[in-house]
Chains A and B, each alone.
Chain A
Amino acid sequence: MPHRTFIWFILPTALAMILFIGLPIVSSFFQSLHIENEQVLMEVENCDPFGCTTNVRVDVEATEKIEAENPLGRFNGFGTYIDRNHLAFDEIREAWDNKSSIGEFKDIVLNLPFYKALLFTLTFCFAVTPPVIVLGFIVALSVNTLAKSLKGLIVFGTILPMIVTPLIGSLVLFWMIDSQGIIGASIQILFDDPNLSLKASSNLTWITLIIYGIWHNTPFAFVVFYAALQTVPQDPLEAAYIDGATRFERVRFIVIPHLYPVATFIMLICLMDNFRVFEPIIGFSAEGVAQSLSWMIYQDLRNENKMLFGSAGATSMLTILGIAFLLTPVLIRTWKEFKTER
Chain B
Amino acid sequence: MNQTINKYSKQIIIVNSIFILFWLTISIFPFIWTLWGSFKVKADFFSRADWTYALSGFNTLIETGATTTFKAYLESWTEGEFGRATMNTMIVTVSVVSISLFLGTLGAYALSRSTFKYTFYILIIALIFRAMPHITLVSGYLFPFFQLNIWGILPTTIIVLVAINQPFTLWLLYSFFKTVPKELDESALIDGCSYFQAFRYIIMPVMWPGVVTAGLFSMMLAYNDFTVTALLLNQHNYTMVPKINAYLGTVEYGGNYMWAVSSVVSATAPLFMIIWFFQKQLISGLTAGAVKG
A214-233 toward B: CB 8 Å interface, digit per residue (1/0)? 01000110011011100100
- Residues of chain B lying within 8 A (CB to CB) of residue A309: 139, 142-143
- Residues of chain B lying within 8 A (CB to CB) of residue A302: 231
Which one, B56-64, B66-74, B78-86, B102-110, is touching chain A? B102-110
Asked whether A241 and B4 contact (CB < 8 A) given A27-B144, A215-B27, the answer is yes
Closest A residue by C-beta to B165: A16
A157 to B160, CA, bound (A): 32
Distance from A283 Cβ to chain B, minimum over Cβ atoms (Å): 8
Closest A residue by C-beta to B23: A139
Asked whether A223 and B8 contact (CB < 8 A) given A9-B110, A12-B103, A19-B163, the answer is no
Q: Is there a chain A Cβ closer than 8 Å to B120's Cβ?
A: yes
Q: Is there a chain A Cβ closer than 8 Å to B290's Cβ?
A: yes
- Residues of chain B lying within 8 A (CB to CB) of residue A282: 245
Q: Is there a chain B Cβ closer than 8 Å to A47's Cβ?
A: no
Which one, A76-84, A96-104, A111-119, A177-185, is touching chain B? A177-185
- Assess whether B28 is in contact with A160, with CB atoms less than 8 Å apart: yes
- Residues of chain A lying within 8 A (CB to CB) of residue B261: 175
- Assess whether B46 is in contact with A178, with CB atoms less than 8 Å apart: yes
A167 to B110, CA, bound (A): 37
- Residues of chain B lying within 8 A (CB to CB) of residue A23: 140
A5-26 toward B: CB 8 Å interface, digit per residue (1/0)? 1100110111011011111111
Name the one of A24, A145, A182, A228 contacting B33, with C-beta atoms under 8 angstroms: A182
- Residues of chain A lying within 8 A (CB to CB) of residue B272: 160, 163
A85 to B195, CA, bound (A): 54
Asked whether A319 and B136 contact (CB < 8 A) given A13-B170, A224-B286, the answer is yes
- Assess whether B139 is in contact with A297, with CB atoms less than 8 Å apart: yes
Within 8 A of B (CB), among A35-66: none
- Assess whether B16 is in contact with A145, with CB atoms less than 8 Å apart: yes
Q: Is there a chain B Cβ closer than 8 Å to A159's Cβ?
A: yes
- Residues of chain B lying within 8 A (CB to CB) of residue A19: 163
Distance from A207 Cβ to chain B, minimum over Cβ atoms (Å): 16
A72 to B129, CA, bound (A): 25
A156 to B273, CA, bound (A): 11
Closest B residue by C-beta to A272: B131
Name the one of A142, A156, A164, A165 contacting B16, with C-beta atoms under 8 angstroms: A142
Closest B residue by C-beta to A185: B51
A45 to B254, CA, bound (A): 43
Within 8 A of A (CB), among B251-286: 260-261, 264, 267-268, 271-272, 275-276, 279, 282-283, 286
Which interface class (under 10, 10 to 19, 20 to 34, 35 or more) fits A? 35 or more
Asked whether A320 and B28 contact (CB < 8 A) given A10-B122, A27-B143, A265-B293, the answer is no
- Residues of chain A lying within 8 A (CB to CB) of residue B275: 156, 159, 163
Asked whether A28 and B290 contact (CB < 8 A) given A160-B28, A168-B241, A272-B131, the answer is no
Closest B residue by C-beta to A161: B27
Closest B residue by C-beta to A308: B139
A328 to B226, CA, bound (A): 27
- Assess whether A182 is in contact with B54, with CB atoms less than 8 Å apart: yes
Distance from A148 Cβ to chain B, minimum over Cβ atoms (Å): 12
Q: Is there a chain A Cβ closer than 8 Å to B127's Cβ?
A: yes
Asked whether A22 and B293 contact (CB < 8 A) given A168-B264, A247-B12, the answer is no
Which one, A122-130, A198-206, A331-339, is touching chain B? A331-339
Distance from B262 Cβ to chain A, minimum over Cβ atoms (Å): 12
- Residues of chain B lying within 8 A (CB to CB) of residue A323: 131-133
Total A-B pairs in contact (CB under 8 Å)? Answer: 281
Within 8 A of A (CB), among B134-168: 134-144, 147, 159-160, 162-164, 166-167
Inter-chain pairs besides A182-B33, A278-B227, 20 sampled, C-beta below 8 Å: A1-B110, A5-B195, A21-B166, A21-B167, A152-B279, A155-B279, A157-B28, A160-B31, A168-B224, A182-B54, A185-B51, A227-B283, A227-B287, A231-B291, A247-B12, A265-B290, A278-B133, A319-B133, A323-B133, A338-B120
Residues of chain B touching chain A, judged by Cβ–Cβ distance below 8 Å, are: 1-2, 4-5, 8, 12-13, 16, 19-20, 23-24, 26-28, 30-31, 33-34, 37, 45-48, 50-51, 54, 102-104, 106-107, 109-111, 113-116, 120, 122-129, 131-144, 147, 159-160, 162-164, 166-167, 170, 195, 199, 220, 223-227, 231, 241, 244-245, 248, 260-261, 264, 267-268, 271-272, 275-276, 279, 282-283, 286-287, 289-291, 293
Residues of chain A touching chain B, judged by Cβ–Cβ distance below 8 Å, are: 1, 3, 5-6, 9-10, 12-14, 16-17, 19-28, 31, 71-72, 138-139, 142-143, 145-146, 152, 154-161, 163-168, 171-173, 175-176, 178, 180-182, 185-186, 215, 219-220, 223-224, 226-228, 231, 234, 237-238, 241, 247, 261-262, 265-266, 272, 275-276, 278-279, 282, 294, 297-298, 300-302, 307, 309, 312-313, 315-317, 319-320, 323, 326-327, 330-331, 333-335, 337-338
5 contacts between A and B (CB under 8 A): A1-B195, A145-B12, A163-B275, A175-B261, A301-B231
The list of the 10 closest CB pairs from A to B, nearest first, reads: A24-B140, A20-B163, A9-B110, A165-B224, A13-B107, A316-B136, A28-B140, A276-B133, A227-B287, A180-B46
